[in-house]
A = this chain, B = another copy of it.
Amino acid sequence: VGSQQLPPGAVVTPAVVVDSDVLDANLRAMADSAARRGLLLRPHVKTHKSAEIARRQLALGAVGISVATVGEAEAFAAAGVADIFIAYPVWADRDRAGRLRDLAARIRLSVGVDSVAAVRHLAAELRGGAAAPALVPVHVLVEVDCGLRRSGAAPAEAGTVAAAAAAEGLQVDGVFTFPGHSYTPGGLEAAAADEAAALAAGAASLAGQGLPCMVRSGGSTPSAAWSAGPADGGPVTELRPGVYCFNDAQQLALGSCTADQVALTVLGTVVSVPAPDRFVLDSGAKVIGPERPPWAPGHGLLPAFRGATVTGLWEHHAVVRTSGDGALPEVGDEVTVIPNHVCTVVNLVDYLNVARDGKLVDRWPVDARGRNT
């Protein structure tokens, strides 16, 4: 956990700190793991929202990136990324349709769809209302639900959606799914099996409509190690993990990383020690994020205080209750917190402080912060 190495006063707290050596090791490990299994890697950049990190992922062999919104796609296209998949059931209203057309004219653009209605709307809006084939080559992938019960068509319905897209002149690349029900301890392998089954069934449904299914895209950070690709005789062709670049307390609890693979932490200052069993950090919810999965021990972990967690969280106060018999920090001390969900943290700040070998070496802008539309 690299930011613990920064000398006091190196950054103004609360501050988000990335250890670039740990980051690079994480990026390389996932790239190697995917390559070993014959899987393409298309990292989800909603986690880091940073052009600098996307460039590192591409330099390590990623075929492109995944984003969640048109606005994120615009930010990364502006940074030079040439192959972007909006892994989301995009509703192409007039504003977004024009922006999608502009993007597709400049980069290889793919978008997610999960209904015939969305496909027809997308095609009509891309044509700008004219009854002619879409002029810009927008690729589509049909989202299938593998058990999360969020968005996504039933796998057996994927062919119907894909056939509608093909009839509208859109280029159908394949199917994708998000095995997000892997986000429970012990659920990783089962979710990966669900992912494989849904992608295979989706591909079969496309075949039933006479359509090829070149891309079968899955993979979340916790389940990625179990995704079955070409080398394992499985149906998955591509992985879209996001969190693996930084990791967080949630991944630690899931067992999908170790403490020395946590690349991003939040540095806070002790602003109050009001009682022998309690201290207060300035790294509140507006920087460490308010998310707390039901099975998380607290609002974030404190590696310097064995077993300690953030037990109370307000916008600018992180309260740590201790057993009362250990050493308390003093007012003014700096304390590192491993946040529960790193994607939320990054979206709260304008830049990441970059540490290496115990020194503050750079600041990377969060280029796509707040790009929700």
Contacts and interface: CB of A to CB of B under 8 A. Distances in A.
A168 to B, nearest CB: 15
Nearest to A273: B115
Contact of A274 (B69, B114, B271, B349): B114
B317 A150 contact: yes
A269 B91 contact: yes
Interface string A138-163: 00000001000111111000000000
B114 A272 contact: yes
Nearest to A143: B272
Interface in A81-111: 88-91, 93-96
A322 to B, nearest CB: 13
Given A89-B271, A272-B114, A285-B291, A68 B150 contact: no
Copy number in this complex? Answer: 2
A137 to B, nearest CB: 23
Nearest to A151: B272
Contacts of A341: 290
B94 A9 contact: yes
Contacts of A64: none
Contact of A330 (B117, B153, B350): B117
A315 interface: yes
A282 interface: yes
Interface in A294-327: 312, 314-317, 319
Given A9-B94, A290-B344, 14 more contacts: A88-B271, A91-B270, A91-B271, A117-B330, A118-B271, A149-B312, A150-B312, A150-B314, A151-B317, A153-B274, A285-B344, A290-B291, A290-B341, A348-B372
A180 interface: yes
A330 B314 CA distance: 37
A46 interface: yes
A116 to B, nearest CB: 10
30 contacts: A9-B94, A12-B95, A13-B93, A14-B372, A14-B373, A15-B373, A46-B315, A46-B316, A69-B316, A88-B316, A91-B271, A91-B282, A93-B332, A115-B274, A115-B331, A117-B330, A149-B278, A150-B280, A150-B312, A150-B317, A151-B271, A152-B274, A154-B274, A286-B344, A286-B372, A290-B341, A347-B348, A348-B370, A349-B372, A350-B370
B315 A68 contact: yes
A367 to B, nearest CB: 14
A9 B121 CA distance: 15
A289 interface: yes
B344 A315 contact: yes
Contact of A347 (B95, B274, B286, B331): B286
Contacts of A319: 149-150
Contacts of A278: 149
A343 interface: yes
A288 to B, nearest CB: 10
A287 interface: yes
A331 B119 CA distance: 11
Contacts of A91: 269-271, 282, 331-332
A341 B284 CA distance: 15
Interface in A21-67: 46
List the 3 shortest-distance A-B pairs measured between CB atoms, nearest first: A151-B272, A290-B291, A68-B316
Name the residue among A15, A121, A271, A319 with the largest chain B CB count within 10 angstroms: A271
